[in-house]
Amino acid sequence: MRIAIILDPLEHIKTYKDSTFAIMREAARRGHGLFVMEQGDLWLEGGQVLARVRRLTLVDDALAWYSVEEAQTHALTDFDWVLMRKDPPFDMEYVYSTYLLELAEAAGARILNRPAAIRDYNEKLSIARFPRFMAPTLVSRDMARIRAFIAEQGEVVIKPLDAMGGASVFRTSLADPNLNVIVETMTRMGMRTVMTQRYIPEIVQGDKRILLIDGEPVPWALARIPRPGETRGNLAAGGRGVAQPLSVRDREIAQSVGPVLKQAGLFLVGLDVIGDWLTEINVTSPTGMQEITAQTGFDVAALFLDALERQ
């Protein structure tokens, strides 16, 4: 197969933990052709979506892990698969990219995850599609309503709808002397919608990342355990990743949510589960493959390529 990947700059990839790198390494091992591009390499001209694409070769070298050929112009239909693996933030440039990819898809390109589904499944707000797995949650920019919700719930987490890696996530309560300024800052004085969610104390046991591949859960989750004095389990915020088998509740959530996401065209998804609650559905560039594989020996990237080849 010829696989093209839209990703962040290659020089920024941390090969020891990056899931996109794990996918590329397994694809190369199987003899598939690899091609890379960045978000800014896409354009529409003459009614056709084109891209500036470079063929990638993985190199076993301590100083340089890849080599690339000169860029060439291709239609996205020239590839068997196009994988959208650009990291958030999910800003308007990301949205414009999904529009272009959707046009390429209409022309016959095979794109994962599906552009419309990436756009429709906000990684925070889409948990509301599955209310029985959602902790008490308010999504609003009304500051008085947010304060009333906090009074009702006692202790909450407030987070923006468009960030990643635990950025700008606050844990607060009515007793917090900074509560008003947190609410004002997060909502930009009532001009930005945020998510306020009851604090789930099981976070101390980890924020579990459950990977779904083509609707089916990987049998191991990566519990991201906060460092002492921290509420966020995100690895980017200093959390420690510990692989563990899926619990009964984890499987219930994954097996209920997975078929719906698969039907929408979401091939690789990362569910975030704290305690018994689904807290996020990551659809842009979910990670965790390498940590699970390193700790358990279960080759998640191979499972991904198996599923991709079956398509």
| Residue where the block lists tokens 């599955």 | 130
Marked catalytic residue, from 54, 124, 198, 208:
124
Residue 272 is among the residues annotated as catalytic for this protein: yes
* Contact status, residue 98 vs residue 283, Cβ threshold 8 Å: no
Residue 198 is among the residues annotated as catalytic for this protein: no
Question: Biggest alpha carbon distance in the chain?
Answer: 60
Marked catalytic residue, from 209, 214, 234, 250:
209
Separation between Cα atoms, residue 87 and residue 193, nearest integer Å? 22
Marked catalytic residue, from 18, 123, 250, 280:
280
Marked catalytic residue, from 26, 214, 250, 272:
272
Asked if omega into 113 is within 30° of 0 (cis), the reply is yes
Residue 141 is among the residues annotated as catalytic for this protein: no
Marked catalytic residue, from 54, 105, 224, 234:
224
220 DSSP β-pair partners: 245
Q: Which helix (H) or strand (E) holds 227?
A: none
Separation between Cα atoms, residue 207 and residue 225, nearest integer Å? 6
Residue 159 is among the residues annotated as catalytic for this protein: yes
Residue 227 is among the residues annotated as catalytic for this protein: no
Separation between Cα atoms, residue 106 and residue 91, nearest integer Å? 23
Spatial CA neighbour of 230 closest among 196, 262, 207: 207
Residue 208 is among the residues annotated as catalytic for this protein: no
Q: Which residues are catalytic?
A: 124, 159, 209, 224, 232, 272, 280, 282
